[in-house]
Structure 1
Amino acid sequence: MTTINARLSVMMFLQFFIWGGWFVTLGTFLSSTLQASGGQVGMAFATQSWGAIIAPFVIGLIADRYFNAERILAVLHLVGAVLLYQLYSAVDFGAFYPFVLAYMVIYMPTLALVNSVAFRQMRDPALEFSRIRVWGTLGWIAAGVVISFVFAWDSREAITSGGLRNTFLMAAIASLVLGLYSFTLPATAPLKEQASASGIKQSLGLDALGLLKDRSYLVFFIASILICIPLAFYYQNANPFLAETGMTNPTAKMAIGQVSEVLFMLLLPLFIQRFGIKLALLVGMLAWALRYVLFAYGDNGELAFMLFIGIALHGICYDFFFVSGQVYTDAKAPKHLRSSAQGLITLATYGVGMLIGFWVAGQVTDHFVVEGGHDWKSIWLFPAGFALVVFVGFLLTFSGRQAAVAPSKA
């Protein structure tokens, strides 16, 4: 690994260590420490979607036009450190929510900025990027290990005493480190062509709306939004569910999902080449339904293996639908619209789809509150059934070619 790639890998590690350091346990923290309702937990998670919706404006109107990417990355993470400290200090949900909303509005643009910095420094992005990006996944895993095995903040005793509050302090320190470190990254000046009036349209994906005239792509687009509803249940409820069932070190064990994500990411191109994009998308959707059935009927006793299988399915759930969807989008879009098309599908899924999903997850979770906890079987069967309906609908209506689709190197 070259020196510059090593520096970029550190950047990716810290970027996702920060996110994984508090986001995974957010639902557990809110419900146990701040006594938030399911609807309030959904509101907190939905700040990710608001951040995803607003992020293109930050990148398209500010970062791409006037400032070096590494400098605005530094400033955003330094401000983020202050906001994360405010989350650490919040005493109730009313005090917590404004700061988590502000934080996600400034954090989501940094996901595009780290990619921008990385791509601009690579000689061969197709070969080098995956080797650098994987350090982000390792950073997310490391955060879970630190929370569970180093400090045990997600143990029952620590949760009861408010120990999960420390995750925000840890993330604030990491954000401060990355903010200062970002000033040392190679200069990544705005490209002249990015300063055009069409920059914001491209960032928002509006240039690619014509793709929706294609019936197959429209079906895929709608399915992508709908499948985000079951996805939101995992982000919002998985950690509280595992903690409530009495699983030890639940945060670190959830990192099994990120390990499987790396493994299936490597297998995905081979699968698409052999079986085609439609089957890959269907496998991804079916995996969501299977995962939630396993969660519904598993427990922390003799059936604990069902919970672990459900966690490990994350690689198939995410890679086979969302990454395959990015590949499909790249193949369907004309070369000059590929960036816009990716912006459109990201805005639709992480923006609109997840926004709806977190609201639904909050309402369903509140509906199945019982004395001493939740009726998790009923909660998990809802997204399982929903994912199955999306699967059947997609199977019957998607008429895309069965031919293999290879990721574009353009």
Structure 2
Amino acid sequence: MSFKTKFQLSFMMFLEFFIWGGWFVTLGTFLGNNLNATGGEIAQAFSTQSWGAIIAPFIIGLIADRYFNAERILGVLHLVGAFLMYQMYQADEFALFYPYILGYMILYMPTLALVNSISFSQMKDPAKEFSPIRVFGTIGWIVAGLVISYIFFWDSPESIQAGMLKNTFLMVGIASAVLGLFSFTLPKTPPSVNKDEKVSVADMLGLDALKLLKDRNFLVFFISSILICIPLAFYYQNANPFLSEIGMENPTGKMTIGQASEVLFMLLLPYFFTKFGFKKTIIAGMLAWTARYLLFAYGDAGSLTFMLLLGIALHGICYDFFFVSGQIYTDSKAGEKYKSAAQGLITLATYGVGMLIGFWIAGQITDNYLISENSHDWASIWRFPAIFAFAVAIIFALLFKNEKIEYKE
């Protein structure tokens, strides 16, 4: 791969995740403080990610894979996304805001698969070449958080009160327009499927991989994957509002510690996987969720700030040890025939079904522990996902029979 192509793909990844991290992290804080949204309404907004994940396979399977070059679709989706971001920037009440975020996430979620397709099409050995490109996505997410907290200070109490947090949508809208235009300069990635070839709904959603559920171990893993996404939703939905509400300075910037941790533990994962095996690695990931939420429940923005920072830093174990290990396990069980279908099914089950349920539950519990306007009993709220994650870990430990899985990059 030429230096020019590497630069193009790296810049594409940087902007792709700069865009997501530049508004999604602070969404709950913005909605609660600036649009006076309830916990239930905030849950609806976050659930658009799940609806996007559910609908994305249809956009990819019916359009991207059959009729148009991937880079052109990526460009169009991000240009339309820039317009929708500007509309979110202008919205002054939740009823106006929601249709735009729903439309945006339905368009954005397919781009996650498109940037991967464009990258893979330029690689001779994706196992070695993809990671150095994909890491720029994580860097983009980190930079977005640092810009919000340490350059513009949009998440400071004064700025939130003044409504400055809405500027994140304007910033991301500009970045989306840049990526939209830049996409048309990317290497050509023609359709991968003949437009006359019939593709069923089952193919697009990966439902053929349901045959794998006959394997008892995979069934336990599959159900556990859905269940663990329920406590995961609490973090996405509540972490930034929680840190802002209790008075932590630069909360968005400090949350990027989680992404730095993700890179570190991604590098350490092969060691843990080889040393301790799949079952122990994935249980460690589940228990990390419990530990994180207990740290959030009993930490504070004063003398116990270290507990909150440690909870954020656990993100690498929480995400990598469960989700990345799970992708490796799924790949090993599926074999060549169901490889793509199985990964699609797991994505649909976790980011689609699991997190859709999780966001709804998180919204109900958050509203239930509202003490006064913009004040919550956070200790009680965080105990729920801590207990739930621990219960899922116990169930998985008891029902999943240990089996040897080789780590494959």
Secondary structure of residue in 2 paired with 1:302: coil
Matched, 1:105 2:106: yes
Structure 2 length as normaliser, TM-score?
0.98
Per-residue deviation, 1:192:
3.7
Asked if the contact 1:64–1:195 (Cα under 8 Å) also holds between the matched residues in 2, the reply is no
Q: Deviations over 1:305-341 (max 9, x none)?
A: 0000000000000000011000000000121210000
Aligned to 2:164: 163
Structure 1 length as normaliser, TM-score?
0.98
Asked if the contact 1:202–1:339 (Cα under 8 Å) also holds between the matched residues in 2, the reply is no
Aligned to 2:397: 395
Aligned to 2:66: 65
Q: Deviations over 1:3-54 (max 9, x none)?
A: 2011100000000000100000000000000000000000000000000000
Distance 1:192 1:367, change over 3 A: closer
Asked if the contact 1:280–1:321 (Cα under 8 Å) also holds between the matched residues in 2, the reply is yes
Aligned to 2:131: 130
Aligned to 1:304: 305
Aligned letter for 2:11? Answer: V
Aligned letter for 1:176? Answer: A
Asked if the contact 1:333–1:341 (Cα under 8 Å) also holds between the matched residues in 2, the reply is yes
- 1:260 and 1:197 map into 2 onto residues whose CA distance is 43
- 2:37 and 2:159 map into 1 onto residues whose CA distance is 18
Secondary structure of residue in 2 paired with 1:370: strand
Asked if the contact 1:153–1:164 (Cα under 8 Å) also holds between the matched residues in 2, the reply is yes
Aligned to 1:212: 213
Distance 1:22 1:316, change over 3 A: same
Per-residue deviation, 1:199:
6.3
- 1:191 and 1:229 map into 2 onto residues whose CA distance is 35
Distance 1:194 1:15, change over 3 A: farther
- 2:196 and 2:210 map into 1 onto residues whose CA distance is 21
Matched ranges for 1:5-404 at <5 A: 5-192=6-193, 196-198=197-199, 200-372=201-373, 373-401=375-403, 403-404=404-405
- 1:389 and 1:202 map into 2 onto residues whose CA distance is 33
Per-residue deviation, 1:200:
4.7
Asked if the contact 1:67–1:190 (Cα under 8 Å) also holds between the matched residues in 2, the reply is yes
Aligned letter for 1:385? Answer: I
- 1:125 and 1:317 map into 2 onto residues whose CA distance is 25
Distance 1:213 1:129, change over 3 A: same
Asked if the contact 2:258–2:313 (Cα under 8 Å) also holds between the matched residues in 1, the reply is yes
Asked if the contact 1:63–1:72 (Cα under 8 Å) also holds between the matched residues in 2, the reply is yes
Aligned letter for 1:316? Answer: I
- 1:233 and 1:183 map into 2 onto residues whose CA distance is 37
Query: In terms of mean alpha carbon deviation, does 368-377 or 149-158 score higher?
Result: 368-377
Distance 1:333 1:117, change over 3 A: same
Per-residue deviation, 1:123:
1.9
Q: Deviations over 1:191-233 (max 9, x none)?
A: 2468632365333111111000101100000000000000000
- 1:44 and 1:331 map into 2 onto residues whose CA distance is 35
Asked if the contact 2:329–2:405 (Cα under 8 Å) also holds between the matched residues in 1, the reply is no
- 1:195 and 1:267 map into 2 onto residues whose CA distance is 45
Distance 1:145 1:195, change over 3 A: farther
Per-residue deviation, 1:122:
1.1
Secondary structure of residue in 2 paired with 1:241: helix
Asked if the contact 1:61–1:200 (Cα under 8 Å) also holds between the matched residues in 2, the reply is no
Per-residue deviation, 1:281:
0.7
Q: Deviations over 1:130-156 (max 9, x none)?
A: 000000000000000110011000000
Asked if the contact 1:275–1:404 (Cα under 8 Å) also holds between the matched residues in 2, the reply is no
Asked if the contact 1:88–1:169 (Cα under 8 Å) also holds between the matched residues in 2, the reply is yes
Asked if the contact 1:61–1:199 (Cα under 8 Å) also holds between the matched residues in 2, the reply is no
Per-residue deviation, 1:280:
0.8
* Structure 2 segments unaligned to the other structure (5+ residues): none
Aligned letter for 1:380? Answer: W
Asked if the contact 1:289–1:385 (Cα under 8 Å) also holds between the matched residues in 2, the reply is yes
Aligned letter for 1:313? Answer: L
Aligned letter for 1:386? Answer: F
Asked if the contact 1:56–1:200 (Cα under 8 Å) also holds between the matched residues in 2, the reply is no
- 1:197 and 1:213 map into 2 onto residues whose CA distance is 27
